[in-house]
Amino acid sequence: MRSRQLFAALAPLALLVAPAVAAADEPSPERLKSAAEEYDKGRRAYIANEFEQAATHFENAYRDAPRAEALRSAIRARGSAKQPARAATLAAFAQAKYAGDSGTIELANKTVQELSPSLHALVVRCQPECSVLSDGRLATLTEGTSQTVYLEPGAHEVIVAWSGDRSHKARVVGKAGGREELSLTAPAEKKPPPAASGAASASAPARDTPKEPAKGLHPVVFFVAGGVTLVAAGATVWSGLDTLENPGKDAVRRDCAGQDESCPTYQKGRDAQLRTNVLLGVTGGLALVTGVIGVFFTRWSSGEKAAVAPFVLIGGDAGNSALPSGAGLRGRF
């Protein structure tokens, strides 16, 4: 915890004191501002232990304004998010990009050394520069002629993409500790369609959108509540049947003939009837609460709301009061 607080305190300062030597492709002020905002969002998400969102923000900050500090933060966040393939891929990029930066190369080497034995290394050499996608997601931070992407063991669909809507698709079966290379040349560029009037001449760098945490209760909460309701319903049915049979109408008439309500047999029946009424009220309340949970507060995977309603079946009587013979929930999910 103390290390995270230290990271949060020093991260903005690290960006401020980063080398400020201008290059030919120095980001514009707008891109620098966007990078700073993304980095700050990543810092806040990291402190909140939302590591995957933090990593996405750090990577977006790097795309807007490439800085070693943002890349190191992204590597750490991917590692904390238990995403070893992504962390190792970023570390491999850092090895090639920042070989002269001692802090970056130390973290990159350590990350690759620890994670690569359980991953499959795919080295893509391409002409001209390309990007690599794995299973539909962008795997590389920037375009390049040599890209190393780490994959989890198993089958993957890899797409190597160039500008001009050109690409090459390959199926790669990853193995722990495995390594293979792809050497590709871009196909002939397609003839561009006529430019649309008013179309933008340039677009911002591709970036991921952090996942929003799913809202609502997990369905298991609803099913647990439903199970409790059914248990209460079963107890109510048992109590009702027991009231009808113990002592029963015939026993009350026989034992209490000529007596008032103080007759012990009559009082026994009244006690059983009160117990059943209490159980009926509890069951109805549980059914109502369960229905509200299912309709308004449960996160159903289909995105549809459940339609739930409690029910009670009435049957039999003891004295002058009706007793239930069934209670529970019904509806669609």
The percent of residues in the chain predicted with pLDDT above 70, rounded, is 75
Cα→Cα distances 240→121, 248, 260, 286, Å: 68, 11, 24, 18
Q: Which of 87-96, 111-120, 180-189, 284-293 shows the lowest mean pLDDT across its residues?
A: 284-293
Quick one: which of 215, 219, 238, 214 has its CA closest to 290?
A: 219
Burial class of residue 234, CB neighbours in 10 A (0-12, 13-18, 19+): middle
Q: Which pLDDT value is given to residue 323?
A: 47
Residue 157, CA atoms < 13 Å, CB-side half-sphere: 5
Question: Using CA atoms, how far apart are residues 311 and 331, in angstroms rounded to an integer?
Answer: 10
Tell me the two tokens of residue 273. 């009837």
28-37 pLDDT, tens per residue? 999 999 999 9
Q: How far apart are the first and last CA of the chain?
A: 42
Q: 29-47 and 68-80 helices cross at what angle (nearest 10)?
A: 30
Residue 72 zone, left/alpha/beta (φ > 0; ψ -120 to 50; rest): alpha
195-205 pLDDT, tens per residue? 655 544 445 55
Tell me the two tokens of residue 228. 């409790």
Higher confidence at residue 281 or residue 152? 152
> Where are the domains positioned within the chain?
1-82, 219-332
91-117 pLDDT, tens per residue? 999 999 999 999 999 999 999 999 999
Kindly indicate the confidence band of residue 206, based on its pLDDT and cuts at 50, 70 and 90. Answer: low
Query: Is the pLDDT at 315 greater than 70, yes or no?
Result: no
Question: Are the C-beta atoms of 311 and 331 separated by less than 8 Å?
Answer: no
Quick one: which of 311, 315, 322 has its CA closest to 288?
A: 311
**Mean pLDDT in residue range 242-266:** 75
- Which residues have CB under 8 Å from 65's CB, separation 6+? 27, 31, 32, 34, 35, 36
Q: What is the 3-state secondary structure (H, E, C) of 227-262?
A: HHHHHHHHHHHHHHHHHHHCCCHHHHHHHCCCCCCC
Question: Using CA atoms, how far apart are residues 237 and 231, in angstroms rounded to an integer?
Answer: 10
Q: Which of 86-95, 180-189, 191-200 shows the lowest mean pLDDT across its residues?
A: 191-200
Rg over CA atoms, the chain:
34
Q: Which pLDDT value is given to residue 328?
A: 55
pTM: 0.53
